[in-house]
Structure 1
């Protein structure tokens, strides 16, 4: 965990506890367990230096009400060089998520002076450092005046070498989350389909095999549904294939598929102007796939995983797709385009089918900022989860819960599927407002083979937030990278 973003590095080191360093630290954080008095040698020394400020704070009502991971800041503490002393409640039996929350409190407050975090023997130190790094992220690449750099963080603990070793996999995971956030935060005039593909191709340096399918390749494959979405844009449509081969050569890969609409105007069915600027995030599904693949490569995962993303731009133009057009998918099904703003499912239809035909995966998960309807149903707290396989779905939901990433399984059924019937083609691409996220999932289900375990994740409500969250500033969250990495680690990684 050496940096929080390419433009905002945070140096994080692990060191042995040094009682003499407490008084001299420019930025100081103390992790304290529950109770009304400091108990460890470092905490007691800190209390003596501050002439009892720590013990008085711990005996107060605010500390008593504080939950694990909550913080209390004391300004200009006596006996210290630090202008402020942050007290963070972290019980010794705190969960991993509580430790991350404690770290996030530090990352949120971290300034140019950095911090000495007095951790003592807390076993959650690695998780705390992970939360700190995630929350210290700041996307400011396009600001003329850069914010002050975050200062270095020293995490003082009783076994620094052991904590550093434990934190190493989290460093790879943090970089995958940052990669996803950077992609989602980028404006569409920077992150074109060409630029997106180039950033993915650069990951060959990490050991990924990366292949870019251009429009001529897609035409030859029969991906007319995907190509129809991008035909009104100057940016060429592409499919990028990323392969990580860390498992046995005779083991089928697990597949991740992402929607990568680099900007979505809605096409001829154009969106309202208000809020359209947020459609730079409509490639969020592809960004999560990219972040997971980066994490797997960095941590040398012992699994075979393939990630495919369909990159397009949906623009109104004289060549653009029209409502009422009929396109033929790679599978061969014909699709009546009722609404050109229901474009993501057209992209995914072809990429899902191609993934199965070429790689014959052991299972498949697609991610997309697919519908506004899922936000109406679940708000911004949970991703909508749709699946045809209980075992895979339950495993994913368990992974998401363990990582603190909200996810909720949504219903599917024949009544919803019947709404896809078209007067002039095999199916329609949009069924109206009622059950909109569910009928969209049923559309995708038409391009999943009967024996293929599959999950669809509608991340429209969780990919980008207008307010801060526990582990991220407002903007891109990187939702899904942690849950998918855990799912692959627990369920698909070779244990030998």
Structure 2
């Protein structure tokens, strides 16, 4: 699907058959009369009398060559609701043959800032489809012409486009099959992001062994593919202020290793690298919009396979932090990847905060379904900021507990800790409790368990099913509101 948007002050020569207008919930036409002749205005008023005005979108033909769409806007509408209206409009026009539209932006009388920008942003986000491997592709083209001066500034247009491109890049990465996007290919793709202005460093197995990142390496040692840690730095400020740090789990395919998963739904484990994809998409967005912030993204890239050299239950490994971990279940691998990545990020970059993202536990889906990501944090202020940002873009988080009493569930008799709670229960919390042990210098830290949010079978408000890109807009909003 291709979406073309034209911003111009005068499109009088362009006469598309489809006209979009935004009206209040009563479908008042007082601001629209100047855009139609007298007979057309009378026809619109008559046609409205036969319509169900409880609907958000109403359309009817004024003639054989002209169709009008009236989109109902409630009072005090917020940006996300405007974006959602754009997504709803895209669904509404799916079966329409002619997909060229015109919006008279100066006819919009609502106070919401960047109304047109948010409407088109929602429409664009909803338009994403992944069809790279289909021989017959969706060739639908949608063209929207914006006539008038009530349009986003060039800076805002760049911002919207950057967030869209970052979100789409995340969705692309998550949608790729495991035979294509294995760790070797993933690391290669990340190198190409230097063209956006990001500084990329790739640590291969040789470098990781030298650094002592044995919990990360242990997860990938059963695969014929390499294991990597990749750092992405964006320097948007001239000073050397501490960066904001984002860390992602990049398990490109997760069989469970020796603790093999059931075959049913294992194909979905291509998205076990979604946490890393969010970090990558976010960093790309920051670079594209030249965000006024210093930031670093760190991703651990591995493949968890049951090969002849695979890690075994009962193995004990020494992490980059120096702490030792007893592996009781090789399918609790994401926390092992993040453990080394978190300590390294804290030590090397000394960030203001660290936020990690991972499709970490099935238990969080049991707790929160696909409505909220689980938030675990050692810092009340950072948690509050994430919750507020999530509400604004409808990428919601729900804070879950951390407590020293949970530590006893992951203490090991044979090592400093074990990688699962052998008793059972509190699976998401004990996983987060495990991660917290690798934050050594009390850096403000938050862990987002996005297992229920990264992929949707049925689609959501701003995605059409499959990879959602959850987290890119959330973290962009956090940075935009609190750190720029």
Normalising by the smaller structure, the TM-score range is over 0.9
> What SS class does the counterpart of residue 141 from structure 2 fall into?
coil
Please, what TM-score do these two structures have when normalized by structure 1? Answer: 0.90
Equivalent position to 1:397, from 379, 387, 390:
387
The answer (yes or no) to whether the contact 2:221–2:311 under 8 Å persists in 1 is yes
The answer on whether the counterparts of 1:12 and 1:152 sit within 8 Å (CA) in structure 2 is yes
1:71 to 26, 44, 57: 57
* Partner SS for 1:380: coil
Residue 241 (structure 1) shift:
0.6
1:7-86 maps to which residues of 2 (within 5 A)? 8-16=1-9, 24-41=15-32, 45=36, 48-49=39-40, 52-53=43-44, 56-57=47-48, 60=51, 62-64=52-54, 66=55, 70-74=56-60, 77-81=61-65, 85-86=68-69
Matched, 1:100 2:83: yes
The number of residue pairs the alignment matches comes to: 475
Question: Per the alignment, do residues 152 and 261 of structure 1 end up closer, same or farther by CA in structure 2, a change over 3 Å counting?
Answer: same
Partner residue, 2:371: 381
CA separation of 1:34 and 1:439: change in aligned 2, threshold 3 A: same
Checking the alignment, whether the CA contact within 8 Å between 1:126 and 1:164 is kept in structure 2 is no
Query: Hey, what's the Cα distance between the residues in 2 that align with 1:17 and 1:47?
Result: 23
Deviations, residues 380-427 of structure 1 (Å, cap 9, x unaligned): 011000000001111111111111111111111122121011121111
Moved more, 336-345 or 32-41: 32-41
Contact 2:22 2:108 in 1 (8 A): no
SS at match of 1:63: coil
The match for 2:293 is 303
Determine the C-alpha separation between the residues in 1 that align with 2:290 and 2:271: 29
Q: What's the secondary structure of 2:328's corresponding residue? A: coil
1:159 corresponds to 2:150? yes
Distance of aligned partners of 1:43 and 1:232 in 2 relative to their CA distance in 1, 3 Å threshold: farther
Decide whether the 8 Å contact of 1:30 with 1:86 is kept in 2.
Answer: yes
Distance 1:245 1:54, change over 3 A: farther
Corresponding residue for residue 359 of structure 1 = 349
Deviation at 1:362, TM superposition (A): 1.2
Relative to structure 1, the CA distance from residue 234 to residue 59 in structure 2 (aligned partners, 3 Å threshold; closer, same or farther) is: same
Residue 240 of structure 2 corresponds to residue 250 of structure 1: yes
Contact 1:30 1:43 in 2 (8 A): no
1:265–1:51: structure 2 CA closer, same or farther, 3 Å change rule? Answer: farther
Tell me what 2:447 maps to: 456
- Does 1:176 pair with 2:169? no
Give the match for residue 3 of structure 1. Answer: none
The offset of 1:55, in angstroms, is 5.6
Between the aligned partners of 1:194 and 1:112, the Cα distance in structure 2 is 43
Are the aligned partners of 2:237 and 2:292 in contact in 1 as well (CA < 8 Å)?
Answer: yes
Deviations 1:276-333 (A, max 9, x none): 1111100000000001100100011111101000000001111111111111111111
Equivalents in 2 of 1:163, 1:176: separation in Å?
A: 20
SS in 1 for 2:77: coil
- Residue of structure 2 in register with 1:5 after alignment: none
Question: Could you tell me how far apart the structure 1 residues matched to 2:392 and 2:172 are?
Answer: 24
Aligned counterparts of 1:72 and 1:367: Cα–Cα separation in 2: 41
Moved more, 117-126 or 386-395: 117-126
Q: 1:87 aligns with which of 52, 55, 70?
A: 70
Q: Summarize the Cα distance change of 1:229–1:159 in structure 2 as closer, same or farther, 3 Å threshold.
A: same
Distance 1:411 1:17 in 2: 56
Contact map agreement 1:245 1:305 (CA 8 A) in 2: yes
Q: Which runs of 5 or more structure 1 residues have no equivalent in the other structure?
A: 1-7
- Is 1:283 matched with 2:270? no
TM-superposed CA distance for 1:17, in Å, is 7.0
CA 1:47–1:138: 2 relative to 1, 3 Å = farther
Secondary structure of 2:8's partner? strand
Between the aligned partners of 1:49 and 1:20, the Cα distance in structure 2 is 20
In structure 1, the residue matched to 2:99 is 114
Is 1:142 paired with 2:116? no
Q: Secondary structure at the match of 2:166?
A: helix
Change (3 A) 1:186 1:20: same
Question: Is 2:257–2:310's contact at 8 Å kept on the other side of the alignment?
Answer: yes
Question: Is the CA contact 2:174–2:467 (under 8 Å) kept in the aligned structure 1?
Answer: yes
